[in-house]
Amino acid sequence: MSLILHYDAISSTNTIARAFKKYSNSVIISSNSQKSGFGRNGKSWFGDSYKNIYLSIALSSTMLKNHISPFYYQACSVLAVQASLFLYLSPDMIRIKYPNDIYIRQNMSWKKISGILIQTEYIGSHLESVIIGIGLNVFQQEYDETIKDKAISLSQILDDDYNVVIQSLQSTILSNLFGYLEYDEQYIYTLWHDALNIIGKEITIVNTGESAIVDSIGNNGILHVIQDNNNLYIDNGDSIYYDLNE
C-alpha cells in the first residue's frame, strides 16, 4: 500500500518524497503549491497555488524491476500523463517531445504543458529508488517572462465551460502510471518510441546549430543520430530542437 500525503504548500514534492521513501516502498506526495520546484538541468518549475498538479512518486526496493533502465520509469510516466490528457484533448493536439515533455498545439504553435523529472539512487550498481516528479499546468494563466510564449495550461486550450477537477486528473495520472508499470520493458519502449515519432526526423543541435538525423533510440533512452556520416549519441532533450508538426 502506498503512503499518500497531500500538502497545502511545500518546498518541492520530489524533496519530500525522497525524505519519506524510507517509510514505504511506494510514496505519493502532492501539494496545492510548491516554492522550490525544479526540472531537468537545474531549471525551476514555477506555478500558482491551487492551479496546477505538483506530484511526486517515490518507488523503492520491491517496487522496482530488476535490471531495468530508469528510462523505463520515465517512459511510463510520460505515457501516463499523455493518456490522461486524451480525456480532454484529441491525440493530434498532443505531442511528446524527447524525452519526456508534453506539448499542446494551440493554433499552429506547440507549447509545453507538462514536464517530468526522474531522480535515481543507486547502491553500487543496484537501482535502489526512483523518484518521479510530474508538473502539469491545469489552470495557470500567467508565466515567467522567459517562458510566457512557450507554456500553456489545460484551461487555456479548453472551452470555458469544460469542467476540470485537479484531484480527478491527478488520480487518473496515478492510475495510468501504475497501470503502465505492470507492463514489461519492451512493450513500454515500443509505446514510447511510437509516441515520440522522432525516428528519421531532422533535428538541430542547439549549441552548434548543426543538423542531424535521428537513426534510432536505445532501450536506455539515448538517441542515436547521424551527422555527416558520424555517429552521435544524445540523452538531453534540451540540447536538441525539432519540429513537432512533422
Q: State residue 182's pLDDT score.
A: 94
In the chain, the percentage of residues whose pLDDT exceeds 70 is 94
User: What is the widest separation between alpha-carbon atoms in the chain?
Assistant: 53
Distances (CA, A) of 117 to 39, 130, 203: 6, 10, 23
Cβ-proximal residues to 209 (8 Å cutoff; 6+ apart), any chain: none
- Output the pLDDT for position 161: 55
Amino acid 159: pLDDT: 73
Query: Does one domain contain both 112 and 217?
Result: no
For residue 223, what pLDDT is reported? 95
**Quick one: 26 and 100 in the same domain?**
yes
Structural domain count, the chain: 2
* pLDDT (average), residues 25-54: 81
The confidence score (pLDDT) of residue 4 equals 97
Interval 24-37 mean pLDDT: 89
When pLDDT is averaged across residues 195-223 and rounded to a whole number, the result is 94
> Which residues form the domain of 146?
3-196
Query: 119 lies in a domain?
Result: yes
For 92-115, how does the pLDDT look when each residue is reduced to its tens digit (9 = 90+)? 999 999 999 999 999 889 999 999
Both 166 and 224 in a single domain? no
The answer to whether residue 137 sits within a structural domain is yes
**165 backbone dihedrals φ, ψ, rounded to 5°:** -110, 120
In this prediction, residues 42-69 reach a mean pLDDT of: 84
The three-point CA angle 238-87-71 to 5° equals: 35
**Quick check: is 122 in a domain?**
yes
Q: What is the CATH classification number for the domain harbouring 191?
A: 3.30.930.10
Residue-level pLDDT at 40: 54
pLDDT of 43 reads 60
Q: Do both 11 and 131 map to the same domain?
A: yes
- In single-letter form, the type of residue at position 157 comes to I
Looking at the structure, tell me whether residues 119 and 233 fall in a common domain: no
- Supply the mean pLDDT for the chain: 91
What's this model's pTM, rounded to 2 decimal places? 0.93
146 falls in which pLDDT band (50, 70, 90)?
A: confident
Co-location of 94 and 183 in the same domain: yes
246 in any annotated domain: no
Pair (228, 185) in one structural domain: no
In a domain, 211, yes or no: yes
Whether residues 138 and 119 fall in one domain:
yes
Q: Are residues 170 and 237 in the same domain?
A: no
Query: What's the whole-number mean pLDDT along residues 58-80?
Result: 90
Same domain, 32 and 145: yes
| Long-range pairs for 166-170: beta carbons < 8 A, 24 or more residues apart | 166/50, 166/52, 166/53, 166/138, 166/139, 169/53, 169/84, 169/136, 169/138, 170/30, 170/53, 170/55
Whether pLDDT at 166 is above 80? yes
CA distance linking residue 121 with residue 32, whole number of Å: 27
Please check the confidence at residue 25 and state whether its pLDDT lies above 80: yes
Judge if 105 and 125 occupy the same domain: yes
Answer yes or no: do 134 and 166 share one domain: yes
pLDDT higher than threshold 70 for residue 39: no
